[in-house]
């Protein structure tokens, strides 16, 4: 049993909140410590060494706190650093790519699966490899959508511009006869109604969040890491390297609760350590 240790979650920005939300739903007793590197978001089009450095900085920052597991709730970061961080860490480390691939395989009937993600996630073919490890006989179509993350981070979700960009970007997938589409970026579930509208109701959208939270829960059961029953709700803590108010607004709308958010200049915080 483990009472105070938190689940650490990182993302380049607010996208990992889609995973945090599902962890809060499935594991309501767990305390969450979240870092969103909004100041340097998006990661998706950055060189791999930069993505690595930034991700390791967030992880090092959160590892100063008592944490019992790390979720790299950013497909882009997971594609670059997951294996390395697993080796470096003494606590369990989860990514979002394997869980997303598993969820897609169990959903797809026709075995025609699409993947949308950032340029890095698509370029590394991380999902395609994860899918083919589970089932080599698939039709897989991949598409990078670099314009999606800024729509979320800049709070443009509910604008006609967002609808236009989503529709135009996804147009090449309309004739692929896919039955399942992996939202291979944790920001994309915030755009899911626009994505569904653009591709029609016949396609099932898969977010890694639910399966990732399930995997975390299984792992906690196996390792006896579940938090004990407590009299009060866990006090989650959210750090952002960007604008605190914007993070708070997006986070509170998405998670439907008040958030305790602190602004942290990550580079500075690491220097002062």
Catalytic residues: 74, 185
Tell me: does residue 98 bind ligand DGL (CB under 6 A): no
Instruction: Single out the segment in contact with ligand DGL by CB under 6 A; choices: 10-18, 84-92, 107-115, 233-241.
Output: 10-18
What x/- string results for residues 40 through 59 when contact with ligand DGL is judged by CB under 6 A?
A: -xxxx---------------
Site mask for ligand DGL (CB under 6 A), range 108-127, x = bound: ----------x--x------
Residue listed under structure tokens 């990182």: 10
Residue 175 Cα distances to 169, 170, 172, 232, angstroms? 13, 10, 7, 51
Question: Which one among 7, 9, 11, 104 touches ligand DGL, defined by CB under 6 A?
Answer: 11
Three-state DSSP class for 150? helix
- DSSP string for residues in 158-178: TSHHHHHHHHHHHGGGTTS--
CA 168 to chain centre: 24
Cβ distance 16 to 10 under 8 Å? yes
Q: Using the rule CB under 6 A, is 242 a contact of ligand DGL?
A: no
Would you state the structure tokens that stand for residue 78, as one six-digit string?
Answer: 């997971």
Phi, psi (5° rounding) for residue 8? -90, 135
Tell the smallest beta-carbon distance from residue 118 to ligand DGL (Å).
Answer: 4
Instruction: Give the residue, chosen from 7, 8, 10, 15, that forms a contact with ligand DGL under the rule CB under 6 A.
Output: 15
- For position 149 contacting ligand DGL by CB under 6 A, the verdict is yes
Determine the interface stretch with ligand DGL among 68-76, 82-90, 170-178, 229-237 (rule: CB under 6 A): 68-76
Q: How far is the CB of 126 from ligand DGL (least distance, A)?
A: 10
Among 69, 74, 198, 205, binds ligand DGL (CB under 6 A): 74
Nearer to ligand DGL, 57 or 76 (CB): 76
Does residue 189 interact with ligand DGL by CB under 6 A? no
CA distance 231 to 192: 36
Residues 6 or more apart whose Cβ sits within 8 Å of residue 43: 12, 37, 50, 51, 54, 55, 74, 76, 77, 118, 120
> What does the binding site for ligand DGL look like in residue numbers (CB under 6 A)?
11-13, 15, 41-44, 74-76, 118, 121, 149, 185-187
């Amino acid at each position: 049993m483990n009472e105070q240790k938190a689940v650490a979650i990182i993302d380049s920005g607010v996208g990992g909140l889609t995973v945090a939300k599902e962890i809060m739903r499935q594991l309501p007793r767990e305390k969450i410590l979240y870092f969103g590197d909004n100041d340097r978001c998006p990661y998706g089009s950055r060189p791999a060494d930069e993505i690595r450095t930034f991700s390791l900085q967030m992880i090092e920052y959160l590892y100063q706190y008592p944490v019992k597991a790390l979720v790299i709730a950013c497909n882009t970061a997971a594609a670059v650093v997951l294996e390395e961080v697993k080796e470096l860490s003494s606590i369990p480390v989860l990514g979002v790519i394997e869980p997303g691939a598993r969820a897609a395989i169990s959903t797809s009937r026709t075995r025609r699966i699409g993947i949308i993600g950032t340029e890095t996630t698509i370029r590394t073919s991380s999902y395609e490899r994860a899918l083919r490890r589970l089932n080599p006989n698939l039709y897989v179509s991949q598409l990078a959508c670099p314009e999606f993350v800024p729509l979320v981070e800049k709070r443009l979700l509910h604008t006609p511009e967002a609808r236009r960009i989503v529709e135009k970007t996804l147009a090449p997938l309309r004739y692929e006869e896919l039955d399942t589409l992996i939202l291979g970026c944790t920001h994309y579930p915030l755009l899911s109604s626009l994505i569904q509208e653009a591709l029609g109701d016949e396609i099932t959208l898969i977010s890694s969040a639910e399966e990732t939270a399930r995997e975390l829960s299984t792992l906690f059961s196996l390792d006896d890491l579940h938090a004990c029953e407590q009299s009060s709700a866990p006090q989650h803590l959210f750090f952002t390297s960007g604008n605190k108010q914007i993070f708070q607004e997006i986070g509170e709308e998405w998670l439907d609760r008040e958030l305790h958010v602190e602004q942290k200049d990550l580079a500075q915080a690491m220097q002062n350590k």
